[in-house]
Structure 1
Amino acid sequence: MWKIAVVDDEPQVLKGMRSIIPWRELNAELAGEAADGEAGLSLILKERPDIVITDIYMPVKNGLDMIEELRKHEYDGKIIIFSGYADFEYARKAMRLSVDDYLSKPVTVQTLKDVLGKAIGKLELERKKELQVDEHMRKLRLYEPIAMQETIKAIVTGATAFDAVTWPDVAAAIGSGQYRVAAVEIVRSERLNGLKSADWHLFRFAVANIAGELGTELRLGVHTVELYGGQTVMLLRFPGNTAKDDCRRLALQFARGLIRAAEQYLRIRIQIGLGDMKEDMKQICDSTEEAFQALHAKPCMPDQEVPVFMYKRKEDNEDRIMAELRLVRHYHEIAQALAGMQQELAAEAVERLAALLAAQPELTAAMLQRIASEVWTICKYTLYGTGHGLDEAFPADAVEQELAAIVLPLQFRDWALAKIAAVCTRFGRGDNLRHKQAVDYMVRFVHEHYAEDLRLADLAEKVFISRNYLSNIFRDATGETFNDYVTKVRMEKAKSLLAEGRLMVYEVSEKVGYKNVPYFTTLFKKHTGRSPSDFVKI
């Protein structure tokens, strides 16, 4: 309902306005009346009416002086002058003060109605634009973390060359300082055999939450990024003034704490490789390569109860060349395409990698065979995550013989393309695969967009499956309904945010997708057995 205030020193005018303004028709109400400019100023600043109807010549403070004071106080409502003075100077000053209309006494009911209707029309248009801007900003706030996640993924994999203009924005987002990448891998044990894709995502999500809490305790910046085959990298940021020995100690403390917490709370084993420290943000992708090399080589650390595999720089040519190739980005591209059975995209990624290898004159047959073996391992883990095993279709002995025969980049290219074609031919047909891909897409979407208004109908349109059928597919694949899974993911994130202790309960509620705080509190208590405020106290 629109609020209108009337300021005039004539009691008859005030009384007349109350009676002739079609309040109901305009969906308006009287915000108050005043008999002079000083009283009008106080009334308007207190009530903040949408529209002010005011005289000019009044005692104590005239109408134009009152309007000038209102503008100084940033009052942005509509102002209509209703005066018996049609002086040009008054009108000119009124225009300078952005008055919306100027009426001379007396005025007809229809004219007043038209003027007020015009003012309300402007208000409605402005409110609509404000709502659109607010909605746009809300969506930007929701999508900002997702966009930042993709940016960080590009940084750690070296997938994007940021220019001089972009780097300051990226630095401001992740923070300046010193950086080290941790490569994290969940060890596949007998307990995890047969685990569904959604549960793998939930385990990785839980590990990321624990990492965030550890980072807060140790005052480290931690950005988690999921890569191919269930592998995860964590970008660790240390304050710029931290001594190198302290950075190393904190990185080890973080990694060992994460390993212990995963075993204690999730009952899973994880392995962590740590790359070297980098002071230049553009070298972060090198730390990623080093972290995976450490995870692959697993240098022995017999004196440690909880081993963390730290990259050890070697002088031999192979390690230097492998580091310079920055293979993680290419592996990620191949796996990403293969997970969706997009043979053409996977083949393009292989062609790019093969071209890179062909341009490396110091590459040896042993290096090529190692790269091919890593590509095949990544393919196996990627397909395992979609419900397919390659060992039965492609016996390990036969693959080993094929790998041993690769001595040239062209041979690597032909072998990789043939393998991708064979995998896509075998597993890329039928509704079962399509359904598994749809569920995997839904699970990833929930983990990336949990703060948004998630609706099964919207996802059904994205995967081209009817809503009801998709609901059944998701329940059969995960053992729970879509809404229950969304709630579970949101509650896990809420627990992590509350544990950090930096946000109020209502802020956590909004960040995990609930505008209704009491409803969020009820769900949280049902999920954890404690209210959010009680959870914070523990």
Structure 2
Amino acid sequence: MWKIAIVDDERQVLQGMKRAIPWDKLEAEWVGEALNGEDGLEMIRSARPDIVITDIYMPVMNGLEMMEQLRKEGYRGKIIILSGYSDFEHARQALRLQVSDYVSKPISLPTLTTILNNVIRELTEEEGERKKQGELEFKISLYEPFVKKEWIRSAAIGTLDHTYKDSIHLPPSYRYWLGRKHMTVGIDLLRNERAGCLSVSDWNLFRFAVSNIACEVARKLFPDIEYTELHSTRALLIIHPQEEEGERLEKRLEELGIRLADSIGSYLKLAARIGIGGLKEAWTEISDSTEEAFRAIDRGAARIASAYEVYLYREDQGGEQESVALFPVKLSYRLASAMKSSQEAEAHQLVQEYMTALKQRTGISPVHVQMLASELWGIIAYALYESGMVLEELFTHDQIAKEISALVLPDQLANWLKDKITKICGSKQWKGSSKHRQVVDFMTGYIHEHYAEDLTLAELSDKVYISRNHLSIIFKNITGETFNTYLTRVRIEKARELLLERNMLVYEVAERVGYRNIPYFSTLFKKITGMNPTELIR
């Protein structure tokens, strides 16, 4: 119901309008009246009407003074002036005060009804816009963590658009970067026998566990850190040391590397190699430190912990031979993304760009060509594995190993890789599942947007016009997880982020991500993360 108040010093006018206005037809109600501007001001403050009908000439405080005070106080309702005088100066002031209409007494009932209908229609439209804006802001709040994650990853690997590489475009939560130095710690999980046995679903859970371990370990030594996942088996910590440098910083970094490798090995039974990049003055150089961190791993030099594979990058290590063995992190990520989305032309271009740079170097040995081939194939194979495509069905492991061992020159590697990309993107297995993949992409996007709601597979099946059972099979085939498992993982990941912010209690976080049963939420949280939610807010 729309609320309407009337302010007029003629009691007869007040009573007449109260009786004459078709309240039910307008879906409106009378909420108050006053005989002067001063009383009207108090009444409007109390009743907060959507529409005020007021005279101008009144004792104590006139209508214009009352309206001006209301606008100063932030009143945003509609105001209709009903005056016995037509005055240009009053009309001008009324426009300045955003009056909806200015009419002269006497006024007929049909005219008043028409004016009220028009004003109510405006209110309805504005309410609809506010609702849309509220929904948009809510959606943005849901997407914000994912946007932040992508921004961090782009800054870390160097894919951030150049127009955003200045202090103005730094997200508010990262403004502290401007007063710090920066360096990265690369985490590379080895593709050993245990890792090779993991399904996509299991591997995603393991990577989630790695992120928890890495953040917990790093924050004990460096309070201000960010974590981001890269392609396949690689992840990255971004550290922002205080003014400390030199030997003390190097010791803490060595300790961090050892703790990371030890914790990942102890809790997850996975082997990890740790690389530490160089210290950078500006946040725009973080991607350089990222390349250095993984170059240190690939070189295998400057090992700083005898019992663990922890490597520190030094500029004076190695020569050209070692530097060309590494496929840059930026190109690795872009290649993995291109293959996941079946962008054949982009994948070819990325390979060509790198091969062109590679051929400009001299003395590239067959061993380094083969090392690079293995790295590139691993990136492609794992990227597609994450998307539900197993390359063993197109190329056997023995076949790939044999072909790689025959590669001697960079040109041979380029031609071999282009041939494989073309065959993969043109395969029936990939093309046949492209429509299903689009469906699953919609579903996962919808889950990330509406995870806090009571989502069901049946609801989504209605949206994509596929039966519930068939949709369940498609989702499992593409993601390696059931719909409920995926939804639970998204909710728990969001809950972990909220808990780490330490602004909410556990039950508030549980409700925010869609759980009303707090004990059930705590059980799920511990099952997935390995810890109780209360441990994160201490």
- For normalisation by structure 1, the TM-score amounts to 0.82
| Cα distance in 1, alignment partners of residues 430 and 338 from structure 2 | 15
Q: Does 1:229 align with 2:194?
A: no
Paired residue secondary structure (1:71): helix
Which one-letter code corresponds to 1:14 in the other structure? Answer: L
The residue number in structure 2 matching 1:376 is 377
Q: CA deviation at 1:198?
A: 2.1
Q: Does 1:398 align with 2:402?
A: yes
| Cα distance in 2, alignment partners of residues 471 and 377 from structure 1 | 29
Q: Does 1:238 align with 2:235?
A: no
The residue number in structure 1 matching 2:272 is 270
The residue number in structure 2 matching 1:149 is 149
The residue number in structure 2 matching 1:329 is 330
Q: Which runs of 5+ in 1 are unaligned?
A: none
Q: Does 1:195 align with 2:198?
A: yes
Q: Deviations over 1:369-404 (max 9, x none)?
A: 43233223434444554463658443476245313x
Q: Does 1:527 align with 2:524?
A: yes
| Cα distance in 2, alignment partners of residues 300 and 463 from structure 1 | 54
> Residue 467 and residue 352 in structure 1: after superposition, are their counterparts in 2 closer, same or farther (change >3 A)?
farther
Q: Deviations over 1:23-70 (max 9, x none)?
A: 222121222222321121122123321111122232321222111111
My pick for the range that moved more, 104-113 or 465-474, is 465-474
Contact persistence 2:230–2:333 (CA under 8 A): yes
Contact persistence 2:184–2:237 (CA under 8 A): yes
Alignment of 1:337-486 (within 5 A): 337-340=338-341, 342-360=343-361, 367-385=368-386, 386=388, 388=390, 390=392, 392-395=396-399, 398-399=402-403, 401-403=405-407, 405-406=408-409, 409-421=410-422, 428=429, 468-475=469-476, 481-486=482-487
Q: CA deviation at 1:186?
A: 3.0
Paired residue secondary structure (2:182): strand
My pick for the range that moved more, 25-34 or 461-470, is 461-470
Q: Deviations over 1:290-335 (max 9, x none)?
A: 2112223444757566653322433442268449x87222233333
| Cα distance in 1, alignment partners of residues 75 and 434 from structure 2 | 58
Q: CA deviation at 1:151?
A: 3.5
Alignment of 1:10-159 (within 5 A): 10-159=10-159
| Cα distance in 2, alignment partners of residues 163 and 198 from structure 1 | 37
Which one-letter code corresponds to 2:9 in the other structure? Answer: D
Q: CA deviation at 1:131?
A: 2.6
CA RMSD of aligned residues (A): 4.1
Contact persistence 2:2–2:50 (CA under 8 A): yes
Q: Deviations over 1:337-372 (max 9, x none)?
A: 344555444322221211121234575655444323
| Cα distance in 1, alignment partners of residues 449 and 406 from structure 2 | 42
The residue number in structure 2 matching 1:2 is 2
> Residue 166 and residue 136 in structure 1: after superposition, are their counterparts in 2 closer, same or farther (change >3 A)?
farther
Contact persistence 2:510–2:521 (CA under 8 A): no
> Residue 505 and residue 429 in structure 1: after superposition, are their counterparts in 2 closer, same or farther (change >3 A)?
closer
Contact persistence 1:146–1:449 (CA under 8 A): no
| Cα distance in 2, alignment partners of residues 533 and 367 from structure 1 | 47
| Cα distance in 2, alignment partners of residues 34 and 532 from structure 1 | 59
Which one-letter code corresponds to 1:223 in the other structure? Answer: E
Contact persistence 1:451–1:510 (CA under 8 A): no
Contact persistence 1:155–1:285 (CA under 8 A): yes
| Cα distance in 2, alignment partners of residues 109 and 482 from structure 1 | 60
> Residue 62 and residue 290 in structure 1: after superposition, are their counterparts in 2 closer, same or farther (change >3 A)?
same
Paired residue secondary structure (1:106): coil
| Cα distance in 2, alignment partners of residues 348 and 452 from structure 1 | 41
Q: CA deviation at 1:456?
A: 5.7
| Cα distance in 1, alignment partners of residues 526 and 376 from structure 2 | 45
Q: Which runs of 5+ in 2 are unaligned?
A: none
Contact persistence 1:36–1:62 (CA under 8 A): yes
Contact persistence 1:318–1:367 (CA under 8 A): no
Which one-letter code corresponds to 2:398 in the other structure? Answer: F
Between the two proteins, what is the percent identity of the paired residues?
36
Q: CA deviation at 1:482?
A: 0.7
Which one-letter code corresponds to 2:107 in the other structure? Answer: V
> Residue 423 and residue 18 in structure 1: after superposition, are their counterparts in 2 closer, same or farther (change >3 A)?
closer
Paired residue secondary structure (1:75): coil
> Residue 462 and residue 37 in structure 1: after superposition, are their counterparts in 2 closer, same or farther (change >3 A)?
closer
> Residue 103 and residue 165 in structure 1: after superposition, are their counterparts in 2 closer, same or farther (change >3 A)?
same
> Residue 489 and residue 32 in structure 1: after superposition, are their counterparts in 2 closer, same or farther (change >3 A)?
same
| Cα distance in 2, alignment partners of residues 138 and 259 from structure 1 | 39
Which one-letter code corresponds to 1:376 in the other structure? Answer: W
Alignment of 1:310-325 (within 5 A): 310-318=312-320, 321-322=323-324
Paired residue secondary structure (2:17): helix
Paired residue secondary structure (1:394): helix
Q: Deviations over 1:440-499 (max 9, x none)?
A: 968975897676877868988999976642212334677863134212331243134314
The residue number in structure 2 matching 1:495 is 496
Contact persistence 1:68–1:97 (CA under 8 A): yes
Task: Pick the aligned partner of 1:294 from 296, 309, 313.
Answer: 296
- For normalisation by structure 2, the TM-score amounts to 0.82
Alignment of 1:250-265 (within 5 A): 250-263=252-265, 265=267
> Residue 350 and residue 167 in structure 1: after superposition, are their counterparts in 2 closer, same or farther (change >3 A)?
farther
> Residue 59 and residue 27 in structure 1: after superposition, are their counterparts in 2 closer, same or farther (change >3 A)?
same
Q: CA deviation at 1:503?
A: 3.8
> Residue 338 and residue 86 in structure 1: after superposition, are their counterparts in 2 closer, same or farther (change >3 A)?
closer
Contact persistence 1:290–1:311 (CA under 8 A): yes
Contact persistence 1:182–1:275 (CA under 8 A): yes
Q: CA deviation at 1:146?
A: 3.5
Which one-letter code corresponds to 1:371 in the other structure? Answer: L
Contact persistence 1:289–1:326 (CA under 8 A): no
